[in-house]
Each structure stands twice: as structure tokens, then as C-alpha cells.
Amino acid sequence: MSANSNKQPETGGFFARDRDWHAPALTPEYKTSILRSPQRALLSLDGTISEITGPVFGHSMIGELDNDLIHNYARPGESAIGERIIVHGRVLDERGQPVRGALLEFWQANAGGRYRHKKETYLAAIDPNFGGCGRAITDDDGGYAFRTVKPGPYPWPNGVNDWRPAHIHFSVFGHGFAQRLITQMYFEGDPMIWKCPIVNTIPDRKAIEQLIAPLDWGQTIPMDARAYKFDIVLRGRRSTLFENRLEGN
């Protein structure tokens, strides 16, 4: 048990989302966004209990191989083909506090850039030992880790010759439904990053850099797997100093 396990759960409202930091809804270079972006203004509302609360998942739901994409779909004794890597990091909130017990789900293409999905038609081969999904729940420091193979870049029908950089999709639950986040992780040094219309939906270069995981030589396991570190920041909560309303919140 953590020394902090007796701490009261946090119940404050969340910091307002900085929607200039995130991509806008309409980003025409990413063509699908044209018809799938709302055109009316969002209705702004300080979070109510419906958004301050959220589902929290127990560590018991996580299977032994859930965070090992090299083996969790492989036949016994076999493993996925590709550059073996470890992806690890911490989930923090905007105040720098670790987010404990956060469920992370990740998915990706195989080493050749091929997804295991019936809608996918790319001619690169399926890896019979690679499914492409994994999940983990953060520990008391907000830490997580998984093993996988580095995904390959992937062509897609947007512009005539658009390719996605190597990337891993992340879905994150914090403690409140307003923290719900889906994003993508990219790899340090990939020249494809700056050509990608999906990356470039994000207006601020510093925000894009927040999605690029550096090679973490220190955590690389000799003769086994290199490591990349990807920290994730979820919305912070206000302290509850003045949140105790007489009416109840």
C-alpha cells in the first residue's frame, strides 16, 4: 500500500482546457476533419459532478501479458517481429502530481506499418504474432511501462502521398471523465513527424514536441530492448480549499 493511500480523493473542478494548445476541430489539411468538425461554439461550463467524477479501474483487470505486445498475441514460444522497445513514462496532472490508478490503452501498427483491422488495405504484411493492443494501470508514482515493437510508418489516403510517422495511439482515463484523453506518441528524430497533416493539426510546435518520446538510453536493456520515455499530462484539479459548498457538490 502507498503511504498516500489514506489521502482523501480529490474532488475539485478541473482547470479549463487550453483549446489554443490543442488542435482546433476544423483542420482542412486533415481532410476528414472538414465534415466531422462542429461549426458552432462549444457551450462552456465549469465542471459539475457529472464530469468531476469518472470511472476508475482496478489493477486486477490487467492480465500478465496485457503490457507486452511482443507476446500477448504471439503463438507459444514465438514473438512479434520488429525493433524491440520499451515505452515507459509517468502520468501527471498539470500541477505535476502523479495520477495513480490511471488506465492507459495503446494500439499501433506492426513493424511494417500494417494494422490488424479489416478496413486496412495496405499491402505490407500482417505479422501473425502481433495483435497491436495493450494496456496498463499506473502505479503510485503515476508510472507505467509496456514492451512492444516499434511501429512502421504508414501511407494513408489523404493527400496523394501522405504517410503517417511511426506512432503509438494512447487512450487515457484519469479520475474524472473531463480528463478523458486520446492522443498519439511519436519517436524522437523521425523526419516524418513534421510532414504529417495530423501532427500539424496542432498549431504550437511546443505542443507537438510534447508528443515526441525521446530515446531513453538509461532504461535501455542491453542485448534486449531500447527504451523510449513518454510522459503524459492530464488536466489538473483545483485544490478543494473553497469548493465545500453548503448545498453539497
Partner 1 sequence: MVQELHRLKETPSQTAGPYVHIGLTPNYCDIRGVYDGDLGTTMVNDQTLGERITVRGRILDGADTLVRDAIAEIWQADSAGLYNSPSEMRGTADPNFTGWGRCPTNAENGYFQFETIKPGKVPFKDGRPMAPHITLWIVARGINIGLHTRIYFSDEAEANAIDPLLLRIEHRQRVETMVAQKDGSIYTLDIHLQGPKETVFLDI
Question: How many residues at the interface with partner 1, by CB under 8 A?
Answer: 96
* Cα–Cα distance for residue pair 51/48, rounded to 1 Å: 6
What lies within 8 Å, CB to CB, of 101 at 6+ separation is 56, 57, 59, 137, 138, 175
Catalytic residue flag (residue 154): yes
Residues 106 to 125 in contact with partner 1, rule: CB under 8 A: 106-107, 115-120
Of the two residues 54 and 220, which places its CB atom closer to partner 1 in the complex?
Answer: 54
Of the two residues 171 and 219, which places its CB atom closer to partner 1 in the complex?
Answer: 171
**Phi, psi (degrees; rounded to nearest 5) at 197:** -60, -25
Could you give the string, one character per residue 42-81, with x where binding to partner 1 holds by CB under 8 A and - elsewhere?
xxxxxxxxxxxxxxxx---x-x-xx-----xx--------
Residue 1 CB, shortest distance to partner 1, in Å, is 15
Catalytic residue flag (residue 164): yes
Of the two residues 16 and 221, which places its CB atom closer to partner 1 in the complex?
Answer: 16
The piece of 79-87, 133-141, 145-153, 221-229 that touches partner 1 (CB under 8 A) is 133-141
* Residues belonging to the chain: 249
Could you give the string, one character per residue 146-165, with x where binding to partner 1 holds by CB under 8 A and - elsewhere?
--------------------
Of the two residues 85 and 201, which places its CB atom closer to partner 1 in the complex?
Answer: 201
Residues 170 to 209 in contact with partner 1, rule: CB under 8 A: 171-172, 175-178, 180-184, 198-199, 201-202, 206-208
Nearest to 215 by CA among 184, 186, 187: 187
Catalytic residue flag (residue 169): yes
CB 12 within 8 A of CB 238: yes
226 binds partner 1 (CB under 8 A): no
Catalytic residue flag (residue 205): no
Residues 10 to 49 in contact with partner 1, rule: CB under 8 A: 10-11, 15-19, 21-25, 27, 30, 32-40, 42-49
Q: Which of 81, 94, 129, 221 binds partner 1 (CB under 8 A)?
A: 94
Of the two residues 133 and 220, which places its CB atom closer to partner 1 in the complex?
Answer: 133
Cα Rg of the chain (Å, integer)? 20
DSSP annotation string for 13-39: PBPPP-TTTSPPS--TTSGGGTTSS--
Is the alpha carbon torsion for 9, 94, 68, 133 positive or negative?
positive
Q: Which of 111, 137, 227, 234 binds partner 1 (CB under 8 A)?
A: 234
Residue 42 CB, shortest distance to partner 1, in Å, is 4
212 three-class SS: strand
Alpha-carbon separation of residue 87 from 10, 65, 150, 225 (angstroms):
28, 15, 10, 10
Alpha-carbon separation of residue 12 from 8, 44, 176, 187, 239 (angstroms):
11, 17, 10, 35, 6
Query: Could you give the residue numbers annotated as active site?
Result: 115, 154, 164, 167, 169
